[in-house]
Amino acid sequence: MRVLGLPVDPVDRCGMLDRVEGLVQRGNATVAYLNVHVANRACAHPELAEFLQGVDLCYADGAGVVLGARLLGHEVPERMTGADWIWDLAARCEGRYRLAWIGGAEGITQRAADTLVARHPSLEVWTTHGFHADHAVPAVLDDCNDFAPHIVLVGMGTPVQERWVARWRSSISAPVVWCTGATADFVSGETPRGPEWLHQRQEWLARLVVDPRRLWGRYLVGNPLFLARVLRERAGRG
């Protein structure tokens, strides 16, 4: 199915992880997500829309996309945020698949990996930050490839991470490369998620409460803009 011309795979969390495992076996796959912010950025950045249209799996990362899909006559089982599914992924990978995690400020992704390993001691994770200069990336990817990960998580924010993956995917030997946004910030504790009762229902509102100065435009302007675009698309279909 498509929302504003962008793909959304109608999978729940278990189905998404099943698909990822299948992609690990198949190889040369890329995974991404769609939320309201990504959809809005894709409207302004054609290369981002093109990237999303070419990935092997694109799941709903926010309640806004689930609502948008419903308004367009589609059903998406649930929204899946990285700070939630990362624990299920770690459980599946422990003793089976190696993870590499690229992104975040220096030290953040390693702290996130340490948090996962504390719960899953047999999990193997290689990490590095997301601020390497272009000339340094080939050497970083050589180190990553030497670790021989099955899944590489890339978290640099949209559209930076998608642009980075589009540029460097052919140099990464891992079967799956997965755009993950700010997951490491949440898992490491660097960025609080807000009250649990709120982020389990309205993730965007919980994030806005925690960081209103940085995120007010993304949500208070971006959410109505996304909804208007969806309603315009629905009216055009009539």
Range from 11-25, 66-80, 99-113, 202-216 carrying the lowest mean pLDDT: 202-216
Checking if the pLDDT of 195 tops 70, the result is no
Query: Is residue 103 within 8 Å of 184, Cβ to Cβ?
Result: yes
Residue 236's pLDDT is what?
A: 86
Angle of the 13-26 helix axis to the 82-93 helix axis, nearest 10: 50
Checking if the pLDDT of 205 tops 70, the result is no
Residue 180's pLDDT is what?
A: 97
| 137 burial level (CB within 10 Å; 0-12, 13-18, 19+) | middle
Residue 61's pLDDT is what?
A: 93
Phi and psi at 2, nearest 5°, equal -130, 145
Residue 106's pLDDT is what?
A: 94
The residue among 175, 8, 14 whose CA lies nearest residue 84 is: 14
Q: Which helix (H) or strand (E) holds 86?
A: helix 82-93
Token output for 238: 């009539």
Is it true that the peptide bond before 159 is cis, omega within 30 degrees of 0?
Answer: yes
pTM value is 0.91
Q: Which helix (H) or strand (E) holds 122?
A: none
Per-residue confidence at 190, pLDDT binned at 50, 70, 90? confident
